[in-house]
Homo-oligomer: A and B are copies of this chain.
């Protein structure tokens, strides 16, 4: 156990200051700080850091812009919120998945009773759900899906078995997931390697009754190819919390063809709660000299 770390919380966030204290730290000014909890998403606003700062906690799960800005090096250690919002985002993914299964977008737009509506609806029990990128979101989604009796195919970089998944595929065997899944959930980080991970080829390999759900980043899906697949009916539907471009412009064909939620998977109150948990855990680890959670990996791109 090291000495009590001094943490600077760069914003008016009593909940985070409480998290620091609960973890055995104390709050203080930046020029005395061992750690900085930074709340702005714009890398250009980050001030020059005094040499005492060993750790910077960033506010978001995705860090593309921080890597592009070249701010992240070996020291201080940067951590992101990656994985911290797994449960709220998984809630949103399941909401989209169930909306797809139960034809909710169709019924939400209706103003008349559809007598044979039951034939539009499917059970999740017995369905196959492929989760591409089984990190914090994917693992939380697997836990939410467990009582449904759905079969989960997880896709991870190395294919190390994910608990709760019937099968885990390594990234280079992702192709096996497309024809098997009734629902494909994209939950991988946005990196050079995951750009357009769902393109024309993959959409063509999906079942005609399959739905695509994206709760990760818009860039993981080739929008033009998706529009074409939805227009031609080569897949059944898409439910997207993230789009490319984002915000999705007025008049874009996806407004008609897909269910779009405007990047809302982490509601503010849940974000605050889970971010405070991440801060608490990392202050505790900093004080104990343990490895931090969510260390940014500039090489991996996340």
Contacts and interface: CB of A to CB of B under 8 A. Distances in A.
Interface residues of A, number: 59
A88 interface: yes
Tell me how many chains of this kind the complex includes.
Answer: 2
A285 interface: no
A21 to B, nearest CB: 22
A172 interface: no
Given A99-B104, A108-B105, A266-B118, A124 B91 contact: yes
A84 to B, nearest CB: 13
B104 A108 contact: yes
A70 interface: no
Interface stretch (A23-31, A109-117, A195-203): A109-117
Contacts of A268: 118-119
Contacts of A246: 113
B267 A121 contact: yes
A10 interface: no
Nearest to A145: B147
A-B interface, 6 closest residue pairs, ranked by CB to CB distance from nearest:
A113-B247, A95-B98, A123-B270, A117-B262, A108-B108, A105-B108
